Structure 1
Amino acid sequence: MIADLTYFRDDAEDGEAVLGRRGRRVPSIDTLALFALEEAIPAADRRRIARAKSFALVIEVPSAEWVEPVRAACMTLGNWPVVYARTGATREDRPDRGNDAVARRLAEGGRVLGVAQACDRHLPSALVGAADGRYRIPVPSNAVVARVIRAATGQRPTAMPPSIAAGLGIWDLCAAIRAGSARACVERLATAAEARSTVDGQVADAVPFPALRGYGASHAWGMRLLEELEAWREGRIGSFAAIDRNVVLASSPGLGKSTYVRSLAKSARLPLLVSSVSSWFSQSNGYLDGVVKHIDITFEEAYARSPSILFLDEIDSIPSRSSMDGRNSSWWTPVVTHMLLKIDECCAREGAGVCIIGATNHADRLDAALVRPGRLGQVIRISPPAAPELAAIVRQHLGADLPDLDLTVVAELGLGATGAQVVGWVKAARARARAAKRPLQADDLLEAVAPPDTRTPGEKCAAPCTRRPTRSGPRCCASPMSSRWI
Structure 2
Amino acid sequence: MQATRSFSKSGSGIAFDEERAVKSLAGGQTVVAVTAAKDLLPASFLSAIDIEVTIGVPAITSIRHVIREVCTGSPRGLKIGDVKGLGLVELATAIRPGSAKETIERLRRSSANKARVTLTFPNAPLVADLVGYGEAKTWATQAVEDFAEIRAGKPTRLTSALLAGPPGTGKTALAQSIARSADVRLVATSVAAWFSNSRGDLDGVIKAMQVGFQAAVEAAPSILFLDELDALPSRERLSSHGADWWTPVITGALLEVDRLRASGKPVLLMAATNHVGHVEPALRRPGRFDRVIEVAIPEGDELAGIFCQHLGSDLTDAEIATIVRLVRRATGAEVGGWVETARRIAAAAGRPLTCHDLLTATIPADHRSLDELRRVALHEAGHVVAALTLGVPVREVTILEKNGAGGRTEIAVASTDTIEALRAQIVIALAGRASDEILGSGPGAGAAEDLAIATRVATACRASFGLAGTLLHHDPDVLQHRLLTDSRLTHDVEDDLQNAHAEARRIITEQGDLVEAIAGEMMRRKVLDAEDLRLLVDRRADTPRPRNASSTVENRRSNRTVPDRRTTPKAS
TM-score tier by shorter-chain length is 0.5 to 0.7
Q: Deviations over 1:458-477 (max 9, x none)?
A: 44334446733779xx9846
- 8 Å contact kept, 1:393–1:422: yes
Give 3-state SS (helix, strand or coil) of 1:453's partner: coil
- 8 Å contact kept, 1:284–1:291: yes
1:455 and 2:368 equivalent?
yes
Which residue does the alignment assign to 1:170?
81
Deviation, structure 1 residue 404 = 5.7
Deviation, structure 1 residue 406 = 3.6
Query: Which of 352, 362, 365 is matched with 1:439 structurally?
Result: 352
Within-5 A mapping of 1:109-124: 116=56
- 8 Å contact kept, 1:197–1:272: no
Which residue does the alignment assign to 1:135?
none
Matched length: 311
- Cα pair distance change 1:404/1:396, threshold 3 Å: same
Give 3-state SS (helix, strand or coil) of 1:306's partner: coil
- 8 Å contact kept, 1:225–1:243: no
Q: Which amino acid aligns with 1:300?
A: Q
Distance 1:94 1:482 in 2: 61
Structure 1 residue runs without a partner (length 5+): 1-89, 103-113, 120-151, 153-167, 174-192
Within-5 A mapping of 1:271-420: 271-350=185-264, 352-403=265-316, 405-420=318-333
Distance 2:518 2:334 in 1: 21
1:216 and 2:134 equivalent?
yes
Q: Which amino acid aligns with 1:264?
A: I
Deviation, structure 1 residue 420 = 1.3
Distance 2:34 2:328 in 1: 56
Give 3-state SS (helix, strand or coil) of 2:283's partner: coil
- 8 Å contact kept, 1:197–1:270: no
Distance 1:480 1:464 in 2: 7
Q: Which amino acid aligns with 1:423?
A: G
Larger Rg: 2
Distance 2:248 2:527 in 1: 60
Q: Which amino acid aligns with 1:280?
A: W
Question: Normalised by the size of structure 2, how large is the TM-score?
Answer: 0.49
Give 3-state SS (helix, strand or coil) of 1:229's partner: helix
Give 3-state SS (helix, strand or coil) of 1:204's partner: coil
- Cα pair distance change 1:101/1:481, threshold 3 Å: closer
Deviation, structure 1 residue 432 = 0.5
Q: Which amino acid aligns with 2:139?
A: W
- 8 Å contact kept, 2:398–2:522: no
Within-5 A mapping of 1:220-299: 220-235=138-153, 237-238=154-155, 242-299=156-213
Give 3-state SS (helix, strand or coil) of 1:232's partner: helix
Deviation, structure 1 residue 94 = 7.7
Q: Which amino acid aligns with 1:340?
A: L
Deviation, structure 1 residue 99 = 7.0
Distance 1:198 1:391 in 2: 35
- Root mean square deviation of aligned Cα: 3.8
- Cα pair distance change 1:92/1:228, threshold 3 Å: closer
- Cα pair distance change 1:200/1:397, threshold 3 Å: farther
Distance 1:369 1:340 in 2: 8
Distance 2:204 2:117 in 1: 27
Q: Deviations over 1:158-210 (max 9, x none)?
A: xxxxxxxxxx972289xxxxxxxxxxxxxxxxxxx9xx799447x22211111
Q: Which amino acid aligns with 2:347?
A: R
Within-5 A mapping of 1:124-163: none
- Cα pair distance change 1:94/1:282, threshold 3 Å: closer
- 8 Å contact kept, 1:385–1:418: yes
- 8 Å contact kept, 1:460–1:477: no
Q: Deviations over 1:120-166 (max 9, x none)?
A: xxxxxxxxxxxxxxxxxxxxxxxxxxxxxxxx9xxxxxxxxxxxxxx
- 8 Å contact kept, 1:198–1:204: no
Distance 1:320 1:93 in 2: 23
Distance 1:347 1:482 in 2: 53
Distance 1:484 1:296 in 2: 49
Give 3-state SS (helix, strand or coil) of 1:370's partner: helix
- Cα pair distance change 1:415/1:313, threshold 3 Å: same
Distance 1:248 1:454 in 2: 42
- 8 Å contact kept, 1:397–1:426: yes
1:468 and 2:381 equivalent?
no
- Cα pair distance change 1:338/1:211, threshold 3 Å: same
Q: Deviations over 1:69-115 (max 9, x none)?
A: xxxxxxxxxxxxxxxxxxxxx9487878x97698xxxxxxxxxxx87
- 8 Å contact kept, 1:461–1:478: no
- 8 Å contact kept, 2:164–2:274: yes
- Cα pair distance change 1:404/1:215, threshold 3 Å: closer
Q: Deviations over 1:17-47 (max 9, x none)?
A: xxxxxxxxxxxxxxxxxxxxxxxxxxxxxxx
- 8 Å contact kept, 1:247–1:376: yes
Distance 1:295 1:198 in 2: 12
Which residue does the alignment assign to 1:148?
none
Q: Which amino acid aligns with 2:229?
A: I
Which residue does the alignment assign to 1:142?
none
- Cα pair distance change 1:330/1:267, threshold 3 Å: same
- Cα pair distance change 1:101/1:458, threshold 3 Å: closer
Identity of aligned residues (%): 35
- Cα pair distance change 1:94/1:281, threshold 3 Å: closer
Deviation, structure 1 residue 481 = 5.2
Q: Which amino acid aligns with 1:215?
A: Y
Question: Normalised by the size of structure 1, how large is the TM-score?
Answer: 0.57
